[in-house]
Structure 1
């Protein structure tokens, strides 16, 4: 794109293009940006005419980028994020009155733990703030924080970029969860051999550090079969509530379901790693008063102790 074109272009078109690249759906983008679907379609048509390329084409129920669309998507996202950060330096944020949408990346387990208190807090103190959850992980999560599509990440992530900052929120250990009438409720296992005899349910989650927990259990002789696996932590409390399964999960998840589902728990007779949950954000957002407010709220609601933010530290190959 020439200098003249950049000078003449409506930058709103780039914002809409960035959002369509995220949603791959014009109607979804229209809803997210509070505009009509025809207006979003017209914006894409104007940008196509400007750059001389289709950029995104319909494929079934979604929009798929052309080669040029793929090539410019990252630069557009990064550029709009930089412009937003520059404008934010001169902005203020009043949570009691200002409208703002924040995208927070977390797991399904994290959503159960974090969102009830966050939504209750916003309802009382920031009624016009909208919180949106993203399940992005791995490369998609890192890219989202980098380009501004994700404002904040919460979780036990161990593979974050050096360009991010983090705040420690809490540690948690794992417990083995089972129904109130399970034999373990009356005769807790006194040895690893007794613990192995139970029928164990596993969550096939490839993310670190959950995979390390599974490896430790397998090393201790607790085997799993294809019939004893589920894909989400959120299903396991309901399964163990009506079966003889035992499942090992983070204690905060166990606490959420223990009372409503009449579940019991024990510390497993295996040394398992503790899960350290942090909040993560990009250095660029330090100047954003809205994100500074959100980080402060999360620290006040969930941090076990107050610490200063620090750069993300890479782990050495031996895990240190």
Structure 2
């Protein structure tokens, strides 16, 4: 398909359907009739050779092919919109509202100090609130605008959301300095012989690491299990337990609690930490600034392109 084969307005309508899922709402937003929306959708279906959206009791649900198209189309429209509106620059100093970000307790340890310090300088009128990404209403709250963005490995956020990789990190073994394992290299045999602190972080991507260790046939003596990461530094500082955590968390806890970490002896995949936002705020200047700030402060140099999932 060539660009000349499609009208830009058709792509705008496509993106509106991805967000609203209702023909009536799209018609209202674009100032056209519902039959006009239906006719444009029919043309898009013929051009792409796919139904794109299927009518259900929950509204117009996108097909897998439509979900694949959502990312590139959304990004292209955002670039065009930004290019046409370069004269209107967003001023962070004008923000007078609470910014709400979904994150885990790991995220609070890693992100909040630097983010708060930067907001104090560039957006003194902004306040910050965090909510857990494990809440069952996260998707609905982001759709309703109650949560501005979410950070973490969050496979539950799919259609209607954009995501971008913030960074990738490996898992490491964390323990106190002077531990019997405090040496140049940690063997698998030593890892299995140690006593372990296990963090069961249900509802997050981090919770999968224990299953991966079991799947590798590695047995651990799990002396203590806790439901969150906030106590890990305190516990390891005063015990001989070993914890499997992400490297950025280990780096943050090492100095304050007198800890050390080594590469993990189990071959675990790197974990991707993504930023998620709802399609409704994709072109919002305030949200574009907020996302840019998060990537400026915490992102790897080589981050993935924006995509819809």
Distance 1:258 1:306 in 2: 26
From 74, 91, 94, give the equivalent of 2:91: 94
* Number of the residue aligned with 2:238: 242
RMSD: 2.0
* Most deviating of 296-305 and 165-174: 296-305
Distance 2:242 2:114 in 1: 29
Q: TM-score, normalised by structure 2?
A: 0.67
1:94-115: CA deviation from partner (whole Å, max 9, x where unpaired): 2123312211000011011111
- Whether 2:155 is the aligned partner of 1:153: answer no
From 217, 224, 230, give the equivalent of 2:226: 230
* Number of the residue aligned with 2:113: 116
Distance 2:269 2:227 in 1: 21
* Number of the residue aligned with 2:197: 201
Report SS of the residue matched to 2:257.
coil
Q: TM-score, normalised by structure 1?
A: 0.65
Q: Could you list the runs of 5+ residues in structure 1 that have no partner in the other structure?
A: 1-88, 313-320
Distance 2:165 2:295 in 1: 9
**Contact 1:152 / 1:279 at 8 angstroms: preserved in 2?**
yes
* Number of the residue aligned with 2:273: 277
Distance 2:108 2:201 in 1: 16
Distance 1:242 1:276 in 2: 31
- Whether 2:141 is the aligned partner of 1:144: answer yes
Residue 193 of structure 1 deviates from its aligned partner by 2.0
* Number of the residue aligned with 1:286: 282
Distance 1:187 1:303 in 2: 29
Report SS of the residue matched to 1:131.
strand
1:240-265: CA deviation from partner (whole Å, max 9, x where unpaired): 11001000101111101101111111
